[in-house]
Amino acid sequence: MQEVANQSAAAAAAVRERWDSTPSVGIILGSGLGGLADKIVVEQTFDYAEIPHFPRTTALGHKGRLICGRLADVPVVAFQGRFHLYEGYTAQQAAQPARLSRALGADTLIVSNAAGGVNPRYAVGDVMVIDDQINFLFDNPLIGVNDDKLGPRFPDMSSPYDRDLMEIAAEAARRNNFVLHRGVYLAMLGPTYETRAEYRLARHLGADAVGMSTVPEVIAARHADMRVLGLSTITNVGSPDAPSGTSGHDVINAAQSATHKLTEIVQSVVASLK
């Protein structure tokens, strides 16, 4: 933990050498959702290889690029690709986009992901605003000696996702006439998709959607006292009673079909922060 502040500061310094704005929002774009970046007025871009201490993303559909610019006339940084534990990274490494957003000055984080729906009311292409989360990654970005400059030793996680931002997201869905669910996201290690028994377990534990990301980023953001909005695109339905095969390409295609919904929500939320 003690080296995290120095690494984040070095990464932020490298970004500031070419982009001198202070972002209000960091946006992490998940599988198949990189198209949201098309709505950003781009002022600067960075390949992850250009950012000190940043890992390389190997996940399907993740470009591995940081975009700096303006969305709804608000300065933002958007990460086209994230880091997963199944790639061999630690939870602390997976949290680096959140840490860099905070080091650059952002006080709000928007995270999006592709997820399997275990709530029987969900359908492929639906969007769920994340109300709460369950960490089945069995790792945590705060493990180690705490650095009080980053946040408290024992951060409260009773409400990891911001209620006001959820309401703005819900209003955007109503205004654009599409369904926005509200539910619990459960993160599993991956990279295998869940078995029927694991889907059944997830539902029994109270999850509405399952995925392989997001939780480390949200923990780090809340540790740093950032407001967080989480959005899951339902890219496959994980029914233990009617199983169907899932592939990475299927997930990306389904995620892309819901890009317009994510775009409306994210633009509305960002615009509200002017």
**Interatomic CA distance for residues 266 and 112, integer angstroms:** 10
**Interatomic CA distance for residues 230 and 218, integer angstroms:** 9
- Does 62 appear as a known binding residue? yes
Amino acid at 232: S
Cβ atoms of 3 and 96 closer than 8 Å? no
Amino acid at 80: Q
- Does 31 appear as a known binding residue? yes
What would the two tokens of residue 244 be? 């169907």
The contacts of residue 270 (CB under 8 Å, 6+ apart) are 24, 25, 71, 72, 74, 76, 110
- Does 249 appear as a known binding residue? no
Q: Is the peptide bond before 191 cis (omega within 30 degrees of 0)?
A: yes
Cβ atoms of 233 and 127 closer than 8 Å? yes
Would you list which residues are annotated within the binding site? 31, 62, 82-84, 114, 194, 213, 236
Would you list which residues are annotated within the binding site for phosphate? 31, 62, 82-84, 114, 213
Would you list which residues are annotated within the binding site for a purine D-ribonucleoside? 194, 236
